[in-house]
Amino acid sequence: MALFPKLRTNGLAAIVLLLTSVPQARASDNQGNVKAVIIFNILRFASFPDTHHVLRLCTRDSEAIARNLMALDGRSLGQRQLDVVFVSSWNDNMDSCDVIYAGSTAAEALPRLRRGQITIGDGPSFIDHDGTVGLIKFGGQTRFAINAHAARQVGVRFSSQLMRLAARVIN
């Protein structure tokens, strides 16, 4: 008989472990990696309205996590592939973007960004300004909040499992 019981994990359990066990007190590069992994996992549990095989995530190349997001370029999101694209400013043509990571400056720029995409940004008030997903510091961890109403407006649905993991949900 083994000393430790055999652990069974699934996708949801992996997300729970990721979201509840990553300390924030590490270097900023590690923080960018944590945020990039959370974004990737959120996109894995999102249903988009179209049948495109590529999901395009756009961000400014000046964002602190840009390099971490680029490391996810080409990775599989189920039946889709993630395509990470850098833009030099929010004035660039963003119509081909499915997801926009707007970082910490998104609250003011958000009205210009909303063109049918989901938006992900930093800060607890991001979802209060019609952002779709906000990455927030919660104690010593990075967590996320979801504006389900904003997601529905662009035809995106998040799994109920993901919604239960959110620190906050606006319906």
Look up the pTM and report it.
Answer: 0.79
Q: Dump pLDDT digits (tens) for 64-88.
A: 788 999 999 999 998 899 999 998 8
Which CATH number applies to 11-170?
A: 3.40.50
Quick one: 112 exposed, middle or buried, by C-beta within 10 A (0-12, 13-18, 19+)? exposed
Region 122-141: mean pLDDT is 88
Beta bridge partners of residue 58, listed in sequence order: 85, 100
Quote the CA–CA distance of 165 and 16 in Å, as a whole number.
7
27 falls in which pLDDT band (50, 70, 90)? very low
Cβ neighbours of residue 111 under 8 Å, at least 6 residues apart?
none
Report which of 171, 170, 152 is spatially closest to residue 46, judged by C-alpha positions: 152
